[in-house]
Amino acid sequence: MTVKRIAAALVGIGLLASPGHARAEEITIGFTAALSGDFAAFGLNMRKGLDLAVAELNKKGGATYRIDAVDDRGEAREGVLIAQRFCSDKNVDVVMGYSFSSIALAAMPVFTECKLPVLASAVTSPALSNVSPYFRRNVLTDAVQGAMAGAYAARTLGLKSIYVLNQQDDYGIGIAKSFSEAAEKGGAKVVGSESYLLGAKDFRTLLTKVRAARPEAIFIGGFYTEAAKIAEQARALGIKAQILSTDGALNVDLVKLGRDAVEGMIVYGMFDPAVATPATEAFLSAYKAAYKEDPSAWAALGYDAGMTLGAAADLAAKDGPVTRESLNAAFGKLKDVPGVTGPTSFAPSGDRAGALYFLAVKDGKFGLAPKQP
Amino acid sequence: MTALLEARQVVVRFGGLEAVGGLDMAVARGAIHGLIGPNGAGKTTVLNVLTGFIRPTAGRLVFDGEEIGGLNVNGFARRGLARTFQNIRLFGAMTVLESVLVGAHQRFSSSAPALIFGGRAARAAERAMIARAHELLTFVGLGREVVDRVATTLSYGHQRRVEIARALMSSPKLLLLDEPLAGMNALEKQEIADLVRQVRAQGIAVLLIEHDMQIVRSLCDHLTVLEYGKRLADGAPEKVLSDPAVQAAYLGRTR
Amino acid sequence: MDYFGQLLANGLVLGAIYALTAVAFTLVYGVVRLVNFAFGELFMLGAFLTTSLMLPEVRLLGTVVPMPGFPLPIAALGAIVVTGIIGVVVDRIAYRPLRNAPRLAPLITSIAVSVVLQSLAQTIWGAEELRFPQFYLATLEPVVLFDSIYLSVMDLVVMATAIVAMLGLSLFIARSSLGRAMRASAEDQTAAMLVGIPVNRVVAAAFAIGSGFAALAGLLYAQTYGFAHSSMGFLPGLKALTAAVLGGIGSVPGAALGGLILGLVEALGAGYLPNGTAWKDAISFVLLVGLLYLRPQGLLGRPELNSAGRGSLLGGASSAGVGWLQAVFARFDALLTRGAAAGTPAAFGLLAVAVVVGLMVPSDYWLRILTMVVIYGMLASGLNVIVGFAGLLDLGFVAFWAVGSYLTSILFVLVLKDGYGIAPQEVWWLLYLNLPLAGLLAAGFAVLLGTPTLKLRGDYLAIMTLGFGEIVRVVAINWMDLTNGPMGIRGIPAPNLFGISLGSPRAQFFFALALAVVVVFAVARLVRSYVGRAWVAIREDEEAAEAMGVPTARYKLYAYAASGFVGGFVGVFYAHSQQYISPLNFSLFENILLLMLVVLGGLGTFIGPFVGALIWIAFLQLALDLPFVQAYPETRFALLGVVLIVLMVFRPQGLAASARVGLTMPGARAKEAA
């Protein structure tokens, strides 16, 4: 309750501050993600990051920003309806969020039709590359991430046998495929692969199978909720293999849920809370002040998306009023907008180029892994 | 002349219990045949066997010269055996007309496309059956005012009549009535008995289970008496009812 | 050996938890013949309450609240007692007023209760998982058998607890006076009431004990897998229900046996089949379907429970009533009765209203919403054929819908575009061919799935069809060569006529409306004929229908086929209107949702499914704009659940129940009057 009130108060302050400026452009952000139901955590984290960014932008002056949030509950049927809701609302200038690639994919034809730009933060499916001139995302595709991680596992860590697990959805399948290809090219052997349904809790049977294959490492292409359980159940079954996972597992809650079992687990992400740049420092302290917890990678991406929008709006405002079309053009022209996840610029495909950090859990905290590519 | 329905050496066992033991009986064409016996004699079980509800453990059933023992319940109905139930079983939520029309089910044959696109033949069949339903409702003594009422909201006596009309809708060769007079006053009993005679007058044989000996004596041409699932007596009412064994069975029970 | 042994051990732990939850279902079912879907959520509450009581502090509604930090046994006891009380309260509010109501009403309220509890739990405890606290027993080294079978000390505690709880319950039922009263009520409620057993109190006791068992299972589950989460109860609840049915619902030893078998089969199946974990959920349902086919009453169940269940699907009413509300409904009913009596003119009137609305509504957004209403109304109409008219409680309808959507998507995208490089615009006419084609395919599929269900009745049928729906979905996820798996199929072309795109929201609305006319017309023609009369006769009294010469088995299959046809037919349009489909579109919840729409609107009416869809979808969209919902998104569904419970308690027969459908051909009656 308090966190939302603080965020609302921050937005309110921003609104009060703005009328002093001559050009009081108001920009409405349509935000949609799974905010309730099974997979609400990603969306709520993105929202927290975005709220922080919006508060900061409003404090800065210039255009004012407000958020119209709509929950998609992770249900596919909502995708088109929500897209149309934003399209029909002439106040909405840009759409952000999205927890699931499938829902974004369902929504994109509608956005393309009404020429409303989208800047997503958590959808990694390669199917979204080139999907529309109005689609952009500030997260790397799983194909790119998986390939980097596979090369890292085989070449940097020198692992010889890896068992690949993935959640049975577009994210997990995509990442496991690119990881396996890159790892085999790097000289490692994928000794087995299995998938599990998102939301599964019981991995003992799966891990009994893994144990029989005696791999040197286990790669988990999935989210932190399952990764924590896999790690814990693996240790309980006496499996001592190195565990690797993805940016889906890079979340403070991984350590809360997995405790001792995730010690030593290596994950990657575009955000490293331990890297002490001044921008990161400011973000971390503001986030902690507002929400009394550490930001996750998704919060960081949500925050960066908000700041990227700020940069795009400023750019668009130079040539006249900010419209959907001018914002979309501005997104395309942005070059290296600084952010806590590194600089942001978008390729014509809508994808972002960026680097990955490999992080390891040490003493219950994420830190830069000892070996980097 | 061969019998319309013939049961030969029918045995029904439930677990270890023998409900019907080697029953032989024959219903003649155009007869009103009474099935009587003390409570628990197995009358309803026999009726259920004759309508396919219970598959006998052993024995044969021949109807109109055809072996019917292996058929489903609806197969019995399609061959021309129609029945009513001891506890009236009308379809809830259906009007009188609709309920009665269900009895004519086997006489419809339109295909789904014909129904959807409103084929002429489908329409004609429906119209003919609705007309026939009205005729039969009048025949059983029900007025037009009940046609569109939900059948289960009618009075008990009227529900019985609807059930009989529904059974007659299939144009059966044999109508089986399970205690059609139960719970009725003397006047109503006479009316139903007259109705049964009129049914027979149309060439439909009737098999009925009944307790009221007055009515049975006056109504039936032939009686079969059951006791403990076995045939105790069989023949013309006067002869059967004066049989000391039958009298003993009844007296022994009712005392 | 060590592999098998470990799988066996894993299966036993899982089986113990399933068994405990299955007892909850079975106990309440035995006494009131109600499948209380909310047990999954009581399971979740047990987990959350235990976890919270064990911690020194917990974040509730975003605020840190100090907690007692009890040791596990005390916290567990507290959680079980509190959950038991919640179970009784739920029964009092949501089920007791519906004891004499149509059979499906309490089932629907139980789903609504689930939705409310789950949403509230998320509001209170948040969207993240809550870690189960560490305690002494859990820190002990695991027991290692034969060098390779690992069992934690707590695993052994879980199994021992399950055994003790089951034995205790059996003893209680056999020996105590309340237990005997429970058995008597289970045998015959009316007779029990006549001999002076306080049936309401017995039912309350069953809910209390059942909820306590669910809570116990939930906390053991949370302990075993290390967390509590608001949605954690859904799947275990469903599995437990499966286990209860497997063992013979109503039988406590059956529930224990069913749970154990299910746990073992899942563990061994997942362990020995290739990529078994992804197929795990399908394995249990395949087992269920197979067993029910061979033995409809379950392993230890009594055959007579496989019956249509107490009360009519349509008749009966609520015992709850508020004067002014009844007056409102009475006026509404009069309108509907008149409308239904008018028949065709009323239908044209409604269509005219829909057309005017479609032309006047300025917002594309609302047009999309209305299109969704029409689509869901059509799907619900398809389901209504089998549930509302033929009286077969089918929870697997989504499978037919998926068949239609996938057929057209696979043809257009995977075969023609990706395989042969043919642009969808060039073959726009294929859509119109696919509509009937998918209908036929889905109808065939429906008959195939319907055949093994013919022996089943009532709730058993519901669970078996639910199993089918789930199997189809798991296949759609895992058979990637055919369906592209979870990635889904995108780029499905918008509807197109002679090269003119009908992709705009307004065009789509009218397209949907045209299809709805076709669907309602076809369904109405079938229902208002001897076919519909046969269906309703089967619904009301299957044996009597059979005695009237209705081949009931064949007509049940016809109902499946008609239902499937509508599902496939609408599925084609759905895919083209969404332009992207994935297995996410055809989740288990959609089955339940469609059933709710039909029941909410009124079973066995033509207008009901559309009324249900309108209320449901419009409510969800309107609720989005409430400031309260903007701040707490999860309350939207809690609110919806409350609205549903209220509607069901006061109006269990459905809103439009008075729009009763005549079962004779319209023209044929008109002639007769002359």
Q: What is the 3-state secondary structure (H, E, C) of C339-381?
A: HHHHCHHHHHHHHHHHHHHHHHCCCHHHHHHHHHHHHHHHHHH
Residues 27-66 of C with CB under 8 A from A: 61-63
Smallest Cβ–Cβ distance between C277 and the set A85, A194, A212 belongs to A194
C547 in B contact zone (CB under 8 Å): yes
Q: How far off is chain B from C315, nearest CA to CA, in Å?
A: 7
Residues 512-571 of chain C with CB under 8 A from chain A are none
Give the pLDDT of residue B173. Answer: 93
Asked if residue C273 has pLDDT above 90, the reply is no
C641 part of contact set with chain A, CB < 8 Å: no
The count of other CB atoms within 10 Å of the CB of residue B214 is: 11
User: CA-nearest residue of chain A to C62?
Assistant: A1
Tell me, what's the pLDDT at A3?
A: 45
Token pair of A140 as six digits: 């790397």
Contact B184, B212 (CB under 8 A): no
- Mean pLDDT confidence for A140-145: 88
- In degrees, to the nearest 5, what angle opens at C-alpha C167 toward C-alphas C162 and C168? 100
Give residue B16's pLDDT band: very low, low, confident or very high (50, 70, 90): confident
Q: Which residues of C touch A2 (CB under 8 A)?
A: 62-63
| Residue in chain C nearest B169 by alpha carbon | C548
CB contact under 8 Å between B126 and C530, yes or no, is yes
Q: Is residue C575's pLDDT more than 90?
A: yes
Structural domains in chain B plus CATH codes? 1-80+172-255 (3.40.50.300), 92-170 (no CATH)
- For the record, the structure tokens of C97 come out as 């007023």
Q: Which residue in A1, A74, A212 is closest to C63 by CB distance? A: A1
Query: What is the distance in angstroms between the Cα of B165 and the nearest Cα belonging to chain C?
Result: 11
C and B interact (at least 3 Cβ pairs within 8 A):
yes
Chain A: residue whose CA lies nearest to C228: A257
Domains and CATH numbers, chain A: 2-140+276-333 (3.40.50.2300), 143-269+357-368 (3.40.50.2300)
Do chains B and A have 3 or more beta-carbon pairs under 8 angstroms?
no
Minimal CA separation from C2 to chain A, in Å: 9
Nearest to C547 among B83, B101, B122 (CB): B83
Asked whether the beta carbons of residue B94 and residue C668 sit closer than 8 angstroms, the reply is: no
Residue B158 has pLDDT above 80, yes or no: yes
Closest chain C CA to residue B168:
C548
What would the pLDDT profile of C456-502 be if each residue is shown by its tens digit? 777 778 888 888 888 888 888 888 888 888 888 888 999 988 888 88
| Dist CA A138 CA A124 (whole Å) | 9
- Given pLDDT bands bounded at 50, 70 and 90, which one contains residue C323? low
- pLDDT tens by residue, A150-175: 999 999 999 999 999 999 888 888 89
**Cβ–Cβ below 8 Å for C312 and B115:** no
Backbone angles phi, psi at B82, to 5 degrees: -120, 150
Residue A181 has pLDDT above 90, yes or no: yes
- CB proximity list for B26: less than 8 A, separation 6 or greater: B3, B5, B6, B7
pLDDT tens digits, B193-216: 999 999 999 999 999 998 888 888
Give the nearest chain A residue to C123 (CA atoms): A36
On whether any CB of chain A is under 8 Å from the CB of C580, the answer is: yes
What is the pLDDT, as a whole number, of residue A275? 65
Q: What is the pLDDT of residue A276?
A: 62
Distance between CA atoms of A192 and B101, rounded to whole angstroms?
65
Q: Residue B97: which of C312, C522, C664 has the nearest Cβ?
A: C664
- Which chain A residue has its CA at the smallest distance from C152's CA? A236
The alpha-helical segments, DSSP class H, found in A152-296 are 170-185, 204-213, 224-236, 252-258, 278-291
Task: List the single residue in C537, C660, C664 with the smallest CB-CB distance to B91.
Answer: C537
What pLDDT, on a 0 to 100 scale, did the predictor assign at position A7?
A: 47
- pLDDT band with cut points at 50, 70 and 90 for residue A260: confident
The whole-number pLDDT of residue C307 equals 57
Q: Average pLDDT, stretch A134-142?
A: 90
Contact C294, C49 (CB under 8 A): no
Note the pLDDT of residue B255: 39
The structural domains of chain C, with segments of one domain joined by +, span 2-137+151-305, 332-673
Q: What is the mean pLDDT of residues C129-154?
A: 78
- The confidence band for B81, taking pLDDT boundaries of 50, 70 and 90, is very high
| Residue among C548, C550, C563 with most chain B CBs within 10 A, to mutate | C548
Assess C485–A contact: CB distance below 8 Å, yes or no.
Answer: yes
CB proximity under 8 Å: C 283-322 to B: 312, 314-315
List the single residue in C119, C276, C363 with the smallest CB-CB distance to A36: C119
Q: Percentage of chain C with pLDDT > 90?
A: 35
pLDDT of residue C188: 74
Cβ separation of C637 and A87 shorter than 8 Å? Answer: no
Q: Which chains touch A (3 or more CB pairs under 8 A)?
A: C
Distances (CA, A) of A180 to A190, B98, C524: 7, 66, 55
Neighbours of A150 (CB within 10 A): 28
pLDDT exceeds cutoff 60 at C310: no
pLDDT at C455 over 50: yes
pLDDT at C305: 58
With CA atoms as reference, report the closest residue to C240 among C230, C229, C227, C254. Answer: C254
Decide if B215 contacts B179 (C-beta within 8 A): no
Neighbours of chain C (3+ CB pairs under 8 A): A, B
For residue A35, the model assigns a pLDDT of: 85
Asked if C668 lies within 8 A of B51 by C-beta distance, the reply is no
Which architecture characterizes domain C332-673 according to CATH? Orthogonal Bundle (1.10)
CB contact under 8 A, B127 and C671: yes
Q: What is the mean predicted confidence (pLDDT) over C247-253?
A: 85
Q: What is the per-residue pLDDT for A9?
A: 44
- Cα–Cα distance for residue pair A312/A319, rounded to 1 Å: 12
Distance CA C654, CA C102 (A): 10
- Name subunits touching B (3+ CB pairs < 8 A): C
Average per-residue pLDDT for chain B: 89
Q: What distance in Å separates the CA atoms of residue A367 and residue A358, rounded to the nearest whole number?
A: 9
Cα angle C335, C513, C621 (rounded to 5 degrees) comes to 75
pLDDT higher than threshold 70 for residue A6: no
Longest dimension (CA), chain B: 66
Q: Pick the range with the lowest mean pLDDT from C222-236, C395-409, C660-674.
A: C660-674
Residue A244, pLDDT > 90, answer yes
Q: What is the DSSP letter of C410?
A: I
How many residues belong to chain B? 255
Distance from CA of C556 to the nearest CA of B (A): 14
Asked whether the predicted pLDDT for residue C318 surpasses 60, the reply is no
Angle at alpha carbon of residue C250, lines to C245 and C255, rounded to 5°: 55
Question: pLDDT tens digits, residue range C26-81?
Answer: 988 888 888 888 999 999 999 999 999 988 888 888 788 888 888 888 999 999 99
Q: What residues have CB less than 8 Å from A365, skipping those under 6 apart?
A: A255, A274
Tens of pLDDT, residue by residue over C533-554, are 999 999 888 889 999 999 999 9
What's residue C138's pLDDT?
A: 73
pLDDT at A10 (0 to 100): 44
**What's chain C's average pLDDT?**
86
Chain A to chain C Cβ contacts (< 8 Å): 197
Q: Give the integer Cα–Cα distance in Å for C176 and C171.
A: 8
Q: What is the mean pLDDT of chain A?
A: 85
State the pLDDT at residue B41.
84
Nearest to B89 among C541, C662, C664 (CB): C541
pLDDT on residue C320: 55
Question: Distance (Å) from the C-alpha of residue C605 to the closest C-alpha of chain B?
Answer: 12
Q: How far is C55 from chain A (nearest CA, A)?
A: 14
- Confidence check: pLDDT of A19 > 80: no
**Cα separation of C311 and C104, whole Å?**
10
Integer CA distances (angstroms), A125 to A75, C487, C534, in order: 17, 8, 51
Q: Do B130 and C664 touch (CB under 8 A)?
A: yes
CA A343, CA A355: separation in Å to the nearest integer? 9
Per residue in A58-93, pLDDT tens? 998 888 999 998 888 888 778 888 999 999 998 999
**Are the beta carbons of C185 and C41 closer than 8 angstroms?**
no
Which chain A residues touch C380 with a CB distance below 8 Å? none
Residue of C nearest to A76 (CA): C585
* Shortest Cα–Cα distance, B147 to chain C (Å): 12
**Of C302 and B95, the one with more pLDDT:** B95
Chain C residue whose CA is closest to B149: C662
The larger pLDDT score, comparing residue C408 to residue A373, is at: C408
